[in-house]
Amino acid sequence: MKAYYDLHLHSCLSPCGDKDMTPNNIVNMAAILGLDIIALTDHNSCKNCKAAIEVGKTAGITVVPGMELCTSEEIHVVCLFPDLDSSAAFDKYVNTRCMAIKNREDIYGEQLIMDSNDKIIGKEDNLLILASDISVSQVHRVVDGFGGVCYPAHIDRDSYSILSSLGGIPPECNFTAVEITAKGNVEKLKKQHPFICDIPLIKSSDAHYLENIHEPQAFLELPQCTPQSLVEILSNKNVIWGR
Ligand SMILES: [Zn+2]
Ligand SMILES: [Zn+2]
């Protein structure tokens, strides 16, 4: 099936995410827009994925548990998992690989954990936007060990991207896809970095506000519209992609 996706969304758990980015608002907005599959990818945390998945079941939209990990080089990497348990285990692991610096809500904003009724059930105390000590060359192996898949986020952006930091994608990173921004100029990017011609490009919104969630524009062919199928397909270098 053609599955229209947006695989990079932040909730109110990300300090930079809008307060209106609650599990219900995100999932229902995505459903109204007509998306088939979305991923929740807060900075360095998966703790709102449980609520979003539960809401997704009611709303009839597939929610993939995920995270936008900040590597030791301050490169953002989208990590996606086949189920809640693997994302929760990865979340626990990442906690041990990040600096424990308290969030300053007055500067960075709140980091809210919610249940499937959008009730606040906790707050993340440590600031989530800091670099972990996982390097970009390690991250594929680490995420793979938890059953997930990962790829560099918004590579055409001037900050927190693999191209802005390293100028290219070292082969030892073993990424099987890359993400470009919605406005990314694919042809220009391919000219500057020809290796991109051989790797699937994911166009996601990186929405921090409800109004920035994508209308259906990019799709991929999935045997089933499930997180498991998505992770499997994204891990496969030989897949032909719809864009
Ligand atoms: Zn980012
Ligand atoms: Zn992001």
Is residue 203 situated within a structural domain? no
Is residue 128 situated within a structural domain? yes
pLDDT of residue 243: 38
Domains held by the chain: number: 1
Least distant ligand from the CA of 75: 1
Q: Which domain holds residue 156?
A: 2-195+210-231
pLDDT of residue 237: 55
- pLDDT level of residue 205 (50, 70, 90 thresholds): very high
Is residue 238 situated within a structural domain? no
Whether the Cβ atoms of residue 162 and residue 152 lie closer than 8 Å to each other: yes
The residue behind tokens 């709102």 is 48
Least distant ligand from the CA of 71: 1
pLDDT of residue 161: 97
Cα(76) to centroid of ligand 1, in Å?
5
Is residue 180 situated within a structural domain? yes
Residue 197 burial (C-beta neighbours within 10 Å; 0-12, 13-18, 19+): exposed
CATH for 9: 3.20.20
Is residue 171 situated within a structural domain? yes
pLDDT of residue 189: 87
- Across the range 62-69, mean pLDDT stands at 98
Of the candidates 22, 1, 24, the residue with the CA atom closest to the CA atom of residue 11: 22
Q: Which span out of 28-42, 97-111, 170-184, 214-228 was modeled with the highest average pLDDT?
A: 28-42
Least distant ligand from the CA of 42: 2
Cα(191) to centroid of ligand 2, in Å?
25
Mean pLDDT over the full length of the chain? 93
Beta-carbon contacts of 14 under 8 Å, excluding residues fewer than 6 positions away, are 21, 42, 43, 45, 111, 128, 129, 208
Least distant ligand from the CA of 39: 2
Is residue 201 situated within a structural domain? no
Cα(191) to centroid of ligand 1, in Å?
23
Is residue 131 situated within a structural domain? yes
Is residue 202 situated within a structural domain? no
